[in-house]
Amino acid sequence: MVCVALRFFASGAFLYSVGDAEQLNKATICRTIRSVCLAIKALADVFISFPGHRRLCDMKEEFYRIAGFPNVIGAVDCTHIRIKAPSGAHEADFVNRKSFHSINVQMVCNADCVISNVVAKWPGSVHDSRIFRASEIYQCLSQGEFSGVLLGDRGYGCQPFLLTPFTDPQEAQQAYNH
């Protein structure tokens, strides 16, 4: 079952294409993919949790060790996951700035690039900073529930708990950006 679902996820192919390759009918492929998705969803909170199984001080030490950044507990960014154009009145909401249909997925990872937080519910047209401001992790950080800061790119506004690069860095600021 898992191999069938992985083939479908990785290939972006149609159900019947995966079915032909696996010698299974379309209905079986559809049920299999649904079962695997539901299993992944049920286990997601076990494996994807912020700050995760590690203590915050360990996370801070790792970021400091690899990048010289003190007090960092994660890095945040969004990525567009291509989807088939949805039907209905909100189809245009899913068209992103690169002109394809997508879901804009926000992820936070630790210094080992292990994903510790995921938000995967926003249409492709929604800006990264809006997704962040509406996220549970934003609420926790803004209310001081976690001691530390996240690193983000220029798509986010600088906050006391979110460090972003300088726009036009002077010489002293270039080291910070890199």
What pLDDT shows up at residue 52? 56
Calpha distance 149→69 (Å, rounded): 10
Eight-class DSSP state of 93 = G
Tell me the pLDDT tens digit for each residue of 50-102. Answer: 665 568 888 899 999 998 889 999 999 999 999 988 888 899 999 999 999 99
Confidence of residue 124 (pLDDT cuts 50, 70, 90): very high
Asked if pLDDT for residue 23 goes beyond 90, the answer is no
User: Where do the structural domains in the chain lie, given as residue ranges?
Assistant: 2-47, 56-177
Region of 25 on the Ramachandran plot (φ > 0 left; ψ -120 to 50 alpha; else beta): beta
Calpha distance 118→106 (Å, rounded): 6
Tell me the pLDDT tens digit for each residue of 100-111. Answer: 999 999 999 989
Q: Name the strands in the sheet holding 115-123, side by side, starting at the edge strand that comes first in the sequence.
A: 115-123, 102-109, 72-82, 149-151, 162-163
CB atoms within 10 A of CB 63: 21
Q: Rounded to two decimals, what is the model's pTM?
A: 0.75
